[in-house]
Structure 1
Amino acid sequence: MNLNLRQVEAFVQLARLGGFSRAAAQLHVSQAGLSILIRKLEDKLAMKLVERTTRSVSLTPAGHEILPMAERMLADAEAILSSSRGIVAQHSGRIALALPPMLAGTVLPEVLKRFRDDHPRVAVAFRECVNEELIGRIYARDVEFGLAFGVQASSELVCQPVLEDELAVACLATHRLARKRVVRWRDLAGEPIITHATGSIARTLTENAFMEAGLLLTPAYEATNSLTALALAAEGLGLAVVSSASTPAAMSGSLVLKVLREPLVKRHLQLVTRRGAVLSPPALAFVEVFAGCMKAARSGARL
């Protein structure tokens, strides 16, 4: 048996308002139209629900028994509609974010592909920028959030850790280090090293790790981003020190990525937002996909 929600709604409104004229006005139908809806519901249920007189309308005993169930049915229908509107809102709209060129060039393409598959109605705008610019764009509300390393929280800025990455070395598959199960910083001694430019967070961490391993860092080349460093390593110009999240880009260049140990240099990927800001459901979903893709990328550089 299929009950018509319009007929159920007509019965509930008539019971609540106690008269055909008021119920018809509430439902935006004529009194004759309301009578037809009630009669069809009674025919469907094979019972009389309403007693009509010239001056009043009252429910039959069966009508009184059916009314609470009819009201629950309408409430459930409204809950379904509200839920569906929330789901549609979650899967549509636009998000804007800022992130470093390293993440944009290595992890982001896979993230965008997966996110588009799950949220085809959400438009994504991204800005590649260093931390200073990223913070400025968040303050200016040019982006909803940022994903970055080494940003300092403040009275206006919230930085939440998403997950960790480690510094790793990228080399050709024919290089001696590609066959080692564990690669240590001291294993880089005497090798031409490709690093990030002076002043970057990755460069500072690399210099500190070299010192801790008792080595002096004298880069053969300095790159402004990981993609350039990986491209140079793919040409056999040296060993590139990059993030473990660079695995997809390294593999596309026929490189092997090994996490560097002794010391193991970790850093946190941060979700950066304005204090008090509440991320939209699509933005939260995007961050979750990003974290998943980055975790998968890092797993390829574990050895």
Structure 2
Amino acid sequence: MDASLRQLAAYVAVARAAGFTAAAAQMRVSQSTLSRAVSDLERVLGVQLLERDTRNVQLTAAGQETLRVAEQIVEAHRSGMKQLRRYLLGESGIVAMATLPSVAAVLLPRMISTFRGRRPDVSVRIMDGLEQAVLGKVLSGDADFAVTTVGAASDRLEHRPLIRDRFRAVLPESHPLADREEVTWQDLAAEPFLAVGPESSVRRLTDAAFEQAGAVAPPAAEAGNVATVGGLVAAGLGVSAMPALVLPLLGPGHVVHRELVAPVVERRLDIVVQARRALPPAATAFLDLLQEARAEGREVPAGAAWITH
């Protein structure tokens, strides 16, 4: 039985309207077109579905059962097409993003709240981790996009500059350097320096900053988690340097932040997508929101700024 959706929809319309005239008006087709579709369906099924007279139609027993099944099929098709349309408009589905913990916890929550307010039926999945793991999620297709630091160049990835944040000195509250408005990288190098692990993009940037300042600062201690580093600083075991968006993750403790100069070091965060890959509609809608926030200059956490060129 190879009945088409068009034939089934025509039959449902005629059966429910109990006539071809009203059904044709509802479907905005000619009566002859509708009659032909029903006749074709009867031929495909090999049964008579309607008993016709000059004024109306009556369903046969086979017609009653066919109507029941046809309505299910037509309604399932309508429902499925409605769901598909909402997906294609970015109104349903999942946004899978990979990002650094500081971006996930500090920058994105307000964006996600706005996005969910506009598109409540879209789920957001955040995969936070270090730079290489985050980029790996994009390359594997597990994440639609990433918001992360700029690592080694890859022709498999496309970068779109988004936001930057500035490194600040992180000091124990009672440290002598805490009395200054500005601290230099040379100042930090003269103190026990507490670093994040070598796999972190923050570590890569601090090592480069010390080199640029002509300073040598072998870590007195290092930890994989920035909150752990914050705890070590609060305990008076040394000093550190962190980008502005990372500072809220340091946790409670007696630490202060000061401007860090000579050189001024900024961390650039990009939207990263897989090159030559079409994004799901919901992911495109989320990236549109990020670009909208950047274009409008919406408020960002202290120490961060949108990249506008």
What range is the shorter-chain TM-score in?
0.5 to 0.7
CA distance in 2, matches of 1:115, 1:258: 34
Unpaired runs of 5+ residues, structure 1, are: 1-20, 30-84
State the one-letter code of the partner of 2:267: R
Give the aligned partner of residue 133 of structure 1.
Answer: 133
C-alpha displacement at 1:271, in angstroms? 0.9
C-alpha displacement at 1:96, in angstroms? 0.6
Do the aligned partners of residues 264 and 202 (structure 1) sit closer, same or farther apart at CA in structure 2, a change above 3 Å counting? same
Structure 1 residue 244 and structure 2 residue 244: aligned?
Answer: yes
Q: TM-score, with normalisation over the residues of structure 1?
A: 0.61
Q: Is the 8 A contact 1:192 1:237 kept in 2?
A: yes
Q: Is the 8 A contact 1:195 1:242 kept in 2?
A: no
CA distance in 2, matches of 1:115, 1:269: 20
Give the aligned partner of residue 298 of structure 1.
Answer: 303
CA distance in 2, matches of 1:271, 1:190: 36
C-alpha displacement at 1:275, in angstroms? 1.2
1:210-241 deviation per Cα after TM superposition (whole angstroms, max 9, x unaligned) = 23334221212112132222222223222122
C-alpha displacement at 1:119, in angstroms? 4.7
State the one-letter code of the partner of 2:220: A
CA distance in 2, matches of 1:106, 1:206: 21
- Give the CA RMSD over aligned residues: 3.7
Instruction: Select which of 284, 287, 292 maps to 2:287.
Output: 284
Q: Is the 8 A contact 1:110 1:293 kept in 2?
A: no
CA distance in 1, matches of 2:193, 2:256: 15
Count of residue pairs brought into register by the alignment: 227
1:122-146 deviation per Cα after TM superposition (whole angstroms, max 9, x unaligned) = 3111212333333332222111001
Structure 1 residue 210 and structure 2 residue 215: aligned?
Answer: no
State the one-letter code of the partner of 1:296: P
Q: Secondary structure at the match of 2:240?
A: strand
- 1:53-68 correspondence to structure 2 within 5 Å: none
CA distance in 1, matches of 2:199, 2:248: 26
- 1:185-264 correspondence to structure 2 within 5 Å: 185-250=185-250, 252-264=252-264
C-alpha displacement at 1:194, in angstroms? 0.9
CA distance in 2, matches of 1:230, 1:137: 28
Unpaired runs of 5+ residues, structure 2, are: 1-19, 29-84
Do the aligned partners of residues 297 and 23 (structure 1) sit closer, same or farther apart at CA in structure 2, a change above 3 Å counting? farther
CA distance in 2, matches of 1:293, 1:226: 27
Give the aligned partner of residue 10 of structure 1.
Answer: none
Q: Secondary structure at the match of 2:168?
A: strand
Do the aligned partners of residues 100 and 26 (structure 1) sit closer, same or farther apart at CA in structure 2, a change above 3 Å counting? same
State the one-letter code of the partner of 2:255: L
1:75-95 deviation per Cα after TM superposition (whole angstroms, max 9, x unaligned) = xxxxxxxxxx87994454321
CA distance in 2, matches of 1:217, 1:161: 30
1:150-174 deviation per Cα after TM superposition (whole angstroms, max 9, x unaligned) = 2344332111111222222222333
Give the aligned partner of residue 272 of structure 2.
Answer: 272
Give the aligned partner of residue 60 of structure 1.
Answer: none
Using the aligned pairs only, state the percent identity. Answer: 30
Do the aligned partners of residues 128 and 299 (structure 1) sit closer, same or farther apart at CA in structure 2, a change above 3 Å counting? closer
Do the aligned partners of residues 109 and 251 (structure 1) sit closer, same or farther apart at CA in structure 2, a change above 3 Å counting? farther
CA distance in 2, matches of 1:89, 1:172: 51
Which deviates more, 282-291 or 174-183? 282-291
Give the aligned partner of residue 159 of structure 1.
Answer: 159
Q: Is the 8 A contact 2:170 2:239 kept in 1?
A: yes
C-alpha displacement at 1:148, in angstroms? 1.3
CA distance in 1, matches of 2:300, 2:160: 17
C-alpha displacement at 1:261, in angstroms? 0.8
CA distance in 2, matches of 1:192, 1:272: 35
Q: TM-score, with normalisation over the residues of structure 2?
A: 0.60
Give the aligned partner of residue 96 of structure 2.
Answer: 96
CA distance in 2, matches of 1:218, 1:175: 20
Q: Secondary structure at the match of 1:220?
A: strand
Q: Secondary structure at the match of 1:256?
A: strand
